[in-house]
Structure 1
Amino acid sequence: MKNELVERESAFVDQLFSEVQKVVVGQREMMERVFMGLICGGHVLLEGAPGLAKTLTVNTLARCMTLDFKRVQFTPDLLPSDVLGTVIYNHQQGEFTNKQGPVFTNLLLADEINRAPAKVQSALLEAMAERHVTIGDTTYPLPKPFLVLATQNPIEQEGTYSLPEAQLDRFMFKIRVDYPTADEELTIIDRIAVPGESRLPEVNQVITPEQIANVRKVLEEIIFEKPVREYIVSVVGATREPASAQLPGLAPFIDFGASPRASIALFQAARAHAFLRRRGYVSPEDVKAVAPDVLRHRVILSYEAEAEGKSVEEIVRVILEHVHVP
C-alpha cells in the first residue's frame, strides 16, 4: 500500500524534471537534491565553478512552481536590512512602518552568498532556522514553504567571507556541482547554435504549494525501520568517534564530527530519496546516497588531514564502507 501511495503522489516529479530539462542540460542530481530540500523544508547550498548552471537551475525550478521567488545578489556592501527589511518613517502619517525585505518569499536565491560580510550572514540565520524575521519590535512569520537556495564559488577567495560553521549547519545539503559530460556540453553548444534559440524556452508550472504540503504528509507515511534509523546514528557517530566504528585511523583527520542536526537531515533526506525512487520504505542505500551531501559541510577536518590531502568526501566514503549495514 505504501508503494502505491508513493507511486501515485510522485507522478508529477518526472514532469517537473522534464520541464527543467527544457532549459538545463544534465545536472539531474543537483535538481533532485534541490527538490528534496524543498519537500523536506531543508535549505540547500550549491557550490561549483562559474558557468555550471547553478543560478539557471534554481531560476528554472522556480518558474516551474506556482511559488513566490526572489533573488538577492550578495555583495560586500550588502546590509542586513537589504535582505530582511527595515523600519521606515512615514512623513505623511507621522509614524514608523516596517518594510519587508526579499526574504519574505517561498524561494530565496542567495546568489554568491559568501560575498556578503558576517553581519548579513548572521542576519539570515534567524530566518533559516526559525522561519521568522524580526524587524524593529515586530516578529513576522515567513511564508510556507520557505527555502533558501544559496550558491557560492569555491575558487575565488578575494572579496569573499567564509560561511561560519553555525550557518553551514543550517543547510540540509551542500551540493558540489560538477562539469557536464562531453555529450551534455555538446548539447549545450547545439542549443546555442540554433537560430532564434538564444532566449530561454518557456516552461510550464507543474507544482503548487498544496502539492508540496501533500508530499510532506506522504513522506511521514514512508516506512523507516528501526535498524535503518540506527544505521544513521552509527554513520553520524563515526564522524565524532571513529574508533567506535573500528576506524581509529581516521581520528587524527577529524577535528569535529557532525551534530545531531546531521542525523535529522540524514533521516529526512533518506525519506525524500526513497520517495523519488517510488518506494514506500527507506533502505540503507537511500542513506548512503544522500550521506555525502548531508555530511560534507558538517565534518571539520584537522590540519593533518589538509596536509595529507584528505577530503571530507574521502572520509565519509571510508565511513560508509566500514560501518555495518543492517
Structure 2
Amino acid sequence: MKKIGVLTSGGDAPGMNAAIRAVVRKSIYHGLKVDGIYQGFSGLLSGNIKELSLGSVGDIIQRGGTILQSARCEEFKTEEGQKKALKSLKEHGVDGLVVIGGDGSYLGALALAQLGFPVIGVPGTIDNDIPGTHYTIGFDTALNTVLDAIDKIRDTATSHERTFIIEVMGRDAGDIALWAGLAGGAESILVPEEPYHLEDIARKIEQGLKRGKKHSVLIVAEGAASGPSFARELKEKTGLETRVSVLGHIQRGGTPTGFDRVLASRLGARAVELLIEGSSGRAVGFVNHELVDKDLYTIFNEPKTSHHNLYQLSQELSI
C-alpha cells in the first residue's frame, strides 16, 4: 500500500471535511501518498484526481460540505463504468480507496471491492440511515440545526398562538425528525417508520387547547408526509390556522459540531488503518461508543436500528 485515494459521494454532510483531513493526515503519517478524487465516482471516471498534501487539508475541519465535492454518476452504475473506474485508479497508482457517503456510495464501494480493489466505506449522511453504525457523520450537526429552528419557530408560535408544522429531511429514515422533535418538545412527530392517525394528532391538539395551551409545534419527516399537505388536512380536521416551515437544504450545511468532527476524524483514520492492514470491502462504524468495521455486503442485509422506544417516549412526553 503506497497510495490511498479518497472521495465523497452522495449528499454532502457536515464533518465530511474532517473525515477527508483524517484520511490524508493519517496516510501521510504512515508514509503513504494520498490522491483526492473530486466529484465522487463521476470524477473517478473522468480522471479528476489530484494529489493531496498536509496543506491541502489545512483549515477545513471546521467547514461544512466537502472540499472534494460530490456528483451523481449513472455511468458508474454499469459494469463498463465500474471497469473504467478500476482502470482510472490503476493509472493513477492508487492502491486502496476510502469512500465517504451514504448507502448509494456504499453500493459503489462494494462494486469496486467485488472487482478485487481494496475499498473501505465511511458513513457520511445527515439521515443517520446506514446500518452498521449508531451514528453517521453529519447527523448530529443536522439535528442541532433543526433544533435551533424549532426553538426560534416556537417563539413565534407562542407570540401568535398558532400551530406550526416544520418539515425536515428524511425520505426513508425519520431520525432527524424524531431526535429533533423529542429534544425540541414537539407536540407530535411524523416519521416514515411509524404510522400516524390524523384523528389522534387533532385530538391531542384539541386537548391542549382545552387546558389553555395556545400553540403547538409539529415535526414532519418528508418521507412521512408533505408539510403543506399535512397542514391542509389538519386545518380541515380542526379548523386551526397553521403555518408551515420547510427547512430544506439548510439542514445539510453549517459548521460541524464537535461530536461530528471527532466522529469523522476517528472513522477516517480507522479506514486508513484497515487498508494498511490489508482489509477490503469493509465499512467502519461507531457502535456503543466503540469503533467497529463490518463487511459491506452484510451491511445491506442488516435491518436499520429501530427507534420505536424513542418514538414511544416522545408520545408519552407530549401529552
Report the TM-score, using the length of structure 2 for normalisation: 0.28
Report the TM-score, using the length of structure 1 for normalisation: 0.27
